[in-house]
Amino acid sequence: MPNPIYVLNGPNLNLLGKREPGIYGGQSLVDIEAGCKERAKELGLSVEFRQTNHEGLLIDWVQEAGEQSAGIVLNPGAYGHTSIALHDAIRAIAPVPVIEVHLSNIHAREPFRHHSMVSSVVEGLICGFGPIGYMLALDALAQRL
């Protein structure tokens, strides 16, 4: 089996299920983790699934994934809109592929969500499909391995 896929989640995603369900849906992050692990198993992959509310820790994990993963599925939450440090970390671990995922369609929301600091340095971007986006990202990574 190749190195695990790191599925990294940024701030407030621990509140999924309770947080604005009209936008983010009713599934909790635990549900999404279970879905990712099941999909990964079907693809012959393994998943290291994590969430943090802290920007520096997210960057530590991207760096760790640069050494120890086959690729990253990253929902950066709001740090995707703000974090140059996250942009730099993704660049620093090239060529490890990173797929950016957002549950909601960030382009159909407030203007401050339209720009992503990380989109220009990731392999691809999936947004607007809810939890299915995580599965699509795993499928895409599996094709590349």
Catalytic position from the list 6, 79, 87, 102? 102
104: contact with ligand DQA by CB under 6 A: yes
Closer residue to ligand DQA in complex, CB, 36/106:
106
Measured from the CB of residue 142, what is the shortest distance to ligand DQA in angstroms? 21
How far, in Å, CA of 57 to CA of 49, rounded? 14
Question: Looking at residue 118, what DSSP letter applies?
Answer: S
102 is catalytic: yes
CA pseudo-torsion sign 14, 107, 129, 2: negative
119: contact with ligand DQA by CB under 6 A: no
Other CB atoms within a 10 A radius of the CB of residue 132 amount to 15
103: contact with ligand DQA by CB under 6 A: yes
Answer for which of 51, 52, 69, 75 binds ligand DQA (CB under 6 A) is 75
Answer for which of 12, 14, 28, 46 binds ligand DQA (CB under 6 A) is 12
Burial of 56 (0-12, 13-18, 19+ CB in 10 A): exposed
How far, in Å, CA of 97 to CA of 120, rounded? 13
* Residue ranges in contact with ligand DQA by CB under 6 A: 12, 75, 77-78, 80, 102-104, 106, 113
